[in-house]
Amino acid sequence: MSGRVLVTGADGFVGRALRVLLESNAVLQRAAVRAQSGIAGEVVVGEVGARTDWREALDGCSAVVHLANVAHASVPKSQLFRVNVEGTRRLADDASTAGVKRFVYVSSAKAIAPDDAYGRSKLAAEHALRSVRAIEAVVLRPPLVYGPGVKANFLALLVAVDRGWPLPVASVRNRRSLVYVGNLVDAILRCLVAPEAAGRTYGVSDGVPMSTPELVRAIARAFGKPARLVPCPPSLLDWIPPLRRLSRSLEVDDAQIRSELGWRPPYSFEQGLRATAQWYRARGS
């Protein structure tokens, strides 16, 4: 593609993988970060919100990939909306003024039917972005993202399986979509360059959803260890926050991005999980 791409949240989990992919495809880029991180040519924008000044970061850019957000469950609702909604609106306004054409916003599958403040903030951010008419907005809604560098609940699950802890999920009968970080950034790149993506909202995933017990067994196979699953009434999992979130169903329909853009995940679930396991082992845990 022609022109420079601004990547917000460039020092995060997905941002790092995206920068590698853009570089390998000879795409010029600029990294926007909240604080100095050591990325070459980075622009520090500070806290993301309604007053963030994006002018320096946007100078000379023809496209934006907006990854910066707050996702922690413990964050106050006011902060979620300040960063995720007001920050997105301000960036879209400044991008429009700067002449940016394509704006790819990485939202969340939780925006499909929001049942918490985070999901509602991501859906509100989508609406805020759509209100800026002068840019070509593309929204991606990924489910749980995993891969080298993953944190939070998925990392906790890796630790538990690797250490042989019994997990009380044998009785869980859910369906969860996942997306490997390499597949997600490939979809982002496709949305940056495909003319027909303008104005669209796409789900993106590895493919067929799986249950939490199936996921645990797959992780155990990647580690070459047995899966230790024990039965437990699903209602009791509400007392274990990481397992409560992982044991709920959250499916993503990615048929639209496949049919309209011809996109296919370049990595299988098994390949993605194998790379994640190798990274986990290499980190010395």
| 118, 146, 180, 280: the active-site residue | 118
Q: Is the pLDDT of residue 247 over 90?
A: no
Whether CATH 3.40.50.720 fits 1-141 = yes
- Nearest Cα neighbor of 118 from 186, 61, 72 is 72
Asked if residues 14 and 53 have their Cβ atoms less than 8 Å apart, the reply is no
Distance CA(110)–CA(51), nearest Å, equals 26
Please tell me the pTM assigned to this model.
Answer: 0.96
- Nearest Cα neighbor of 204 from 258, 154, 276, 153 is 258
Q: What is the pLDDT of residues 36-56, one digit of tens each?
A: 999 988 999 999 999 999 999
- Amino acid residing at 36: Q
Asked if residues 92 and 134 have their Cβ atoms less than 8 Å apart, the reply is no
Share of the chain above pLDDT 90, in %: 87
Give CA 270 to chain center in angstroms: 19
Is 105 annotated as catalytic? no
Kindly report each contact of residues 218-223 with a partner whose C-beta sits within 8 Å and lies 24 or more positions away, as own/partner: 218/269, 218/270, 218/273, 219/157, 219/158, 219/161, 219/273, 219/277, 220/161, 222/273, 222/274, 222/276, 222/277, 223/161, 223/162, 223/277, 223/281
Work out the average pLDDT over 4-8. 98
Q: What is the pLDDT of residues 135-159, one digit of tens each?
A: 999 999 999 999 999 999 899 999 9
DSSP 167: B
Q: Is the pLDDT of residue 73 over 80?
A: no
Distance CA(121)–CA(266), nearest Å, equals 30
Rg of the Cα atoms in the chain: 19
Distance CA(184)–CA(129), nearest Å, equals 20
- Nearest Cα neighbor of 190 from 14, 25, 33 is 25
- The pLDDT value recorded for residue 40 is 85
Asked if residues 118 and 152 have their Cβ atoms less than 8 Å apart, the reply is no
User: pLDDT grade, residue 187 (50/70/90)?
Assistant: very high
- The pLDDT value recorded for residue 234 is 78
Work out the average pLDDT over 115-140. 96
- Nearest Cα neighbor of 169 from 110, 236, 223 is 236
Write a three-state SS string for 11-70.
CCHHHHHHHHHHHHCCCCEEEEECCCCCCCCCEECCCCCCCCCCHHHHCCEEEEEECCCC
Asked if residues 64 and 103 have their Cβ atoms less than 8 Å apart, the reply is yes
Work out the average pLDDT over 159-176. 94
